[in-house]
Amino acid sequence: HAFKKKKSRNYSYVGFYFYKAITFQELNEVEEKNQCEIHHDFMTGEKPRQTEKISSRKRAQKTKPNSSNRTRKQNLEIHKSVHAGEKMFICDQCGKSFSGTKCLKMHAIIHSAERPFMCHQCGKTFKLKKYLTTHMRVHTKERPFTCKQCGKSFSQEAHLNAHLKVHTGEKSFTCDKCGNRFARKRDLNTHMTLHTGVRPYNCKVCGKSFSLKGNLKIHIRSHTGEKPFICDQCGKSFRFKATLSYHMTIHSRENCLNCHQCGRSFTDRNDLKTHVTTHTGEKPNMCHHCGKSFSKQYHLKNHIRVHTGEKPFTCKQCGKSFAIKVNLETHMRVHSGEKPFTCHHCGKSFKIKRNFDSHVSRHV
């Protein structure tokens, strides 16, 4: 029979694999090759060799996807290992084992520099899709994991599991130095810095070092003036989340203490007492060296260093020392060139607030 040659290939389904069927053109080429071999044997007198018969099934087995040489029996054995809990595929980088090749390939991305999953909102890239999914909750503010005992919500299940230990009292992380126990691993890591003294995160502006990256991030706000936590009631912004939480109690009027002079509210009685001295002019904190009085305790503490000569705040770049922390922070702008105080009238910037205030008064 005369067959019409086709350029396209047909595919047949066999077992769990798709096999590529041989084309008619390839069959004709094989047939011509066999005929030439038979003719050569007749001319030379050699014993004719058996003509190779190639079926589409046999040819398909030779052209399996991914050049796999496994038989169907071997594939079945590998499949059974999934149910048995066996992990036959081992990572040659770290030795971790997996039940299938797909899981191994996904794991291999961790060792490579490849980060194929990108956040379309901020451009941050991730090695695994699940990391991107978790990251997206930063933008959406989604917190799908809720504690049934107190109602607090979390963006990650691991954070919820760690939180649950607060209710159960479980403390599974133990310090091998002093025996203190902690509910969360990050709490143990923070505690360990007390023993090791390691502070790997350094501020590029003032040189101050921190044991945790999060603490450095919070510290940098003291240089930039950033106040990311905003009260949705009055619009006031704060540098720390804890300060915002404390501020919100004023709006809730829970256990609030009000100043009779100006109506300002406080949640702490000592804070109210200190505030009242601004109206009365009372200065209960007296220096025993010179008799000078101050309304606040920390003002007295700073003043006493004038008499003692103590200067505990030292610049790590030039070695100059200061008695008051704010003076060191102001001095650091000499090295950094930072000018955080900007005039909204003309755009001129200043390193020191008093120079800024003097300049603004000229516009007024």
Look up the CATH number of the domain holding residue 149.
3.30.160.60
Instruction: Identify the domain containing residue 173 by its residue range.
Output: 145-198
Task: Determine the 3-state secondary structure of 126 from DSSP.
Answer: strand
pLDDT for 61 beyond 80: no
Residue 80 confidence class, pLDDT cut points 50, 70, 90: confident
Mean pLDDT of 350-356: 83
Residue 203 confidence class, pLDDT cut points 50, 70, 90: confident
How high is the pLDDT of residue 243?
83
Mean pLDDT of 19-32: 42
Distance CA 329, CA 316 (A): 12
Given 198, 222, 240, the domain boundary residue is 198
Distance CA 39, CA 25 (A): 21
In a domain, 249, yes or no: no
Least confident of 79-83, 147-151, 162-166: 79-83
Mean pLDDT of 57-72: 47
The predicted-structure confidence for 220-234, as pLDDT tens digits, reads as follows: 888 888 888 888 877
In a domain, 180, yes or no: yes
Top pLDDT among 49 and 73 is at 73
pLDDT for 92 beyond 60: yes
Share of the chain above pLDDT 90, in %: 1
How many CB atoms are closer than 10 A to CB 328?
20
In a domain, 189, yes or no: yes
As a whole number, the mean pLDDT across the chain is 75
Tell me the whole-structure pTM to 2 decimals: 0.35
How high is the pLDDT of residue 97?
83
How high is the pLDDT of residue 57?
40
Residue 69 confidence class, pLDDT cut points 50, 70, 90: low
Residue 70 confidence class, pLDDT cut points 50, 70, 90: low
Indicate the DSSP class of residue 50: P
Task: Check: CB of residue 319 under 8 Å from CB of residue 326.
Answer: no
Given 169, 198, 227, the domain boundary residue is 198
How high is the pLDDT of residue 290?
92
Task: Determine the 3-state secondary structure of 80 from DSSP.
Answer: helix
How many CB atoms are closer than 10 A to CB 211?
19
In a domain, 192, yes or no: yes
pLDDT for 163 beyond 70: yes
Please state the domain count of the chain: 2
Residue 253 confidence class, pLDDT cut points 50, 70, 90: low
Given 198, 225, 260, the domain boundary residue is 198
Top pLDDT among 325 and 33 is at 325
pLDDT for 306 beyond 50: yes
Distance CA 350, CA 15 (A): 77
Amino acid (1-letter code) at residue 67:
S
pLDDT for 213 beyond 70: yes
Distance CA 223, CA 328 (A): 12
Mean pLDDT of 268-272: 78
In a domain, 303, yes or no: no
Mean pLDDT of 149-159: 87
In a domain, 298, yes or no: no
How high is the pLDDT of residue 82?
67
In a domain, 193, yes or no: yes
Report CA dihedral (166, 167, 173, 179) to the nearest 10 degrees: 90
pLDDT for 121 beyond 60: yes
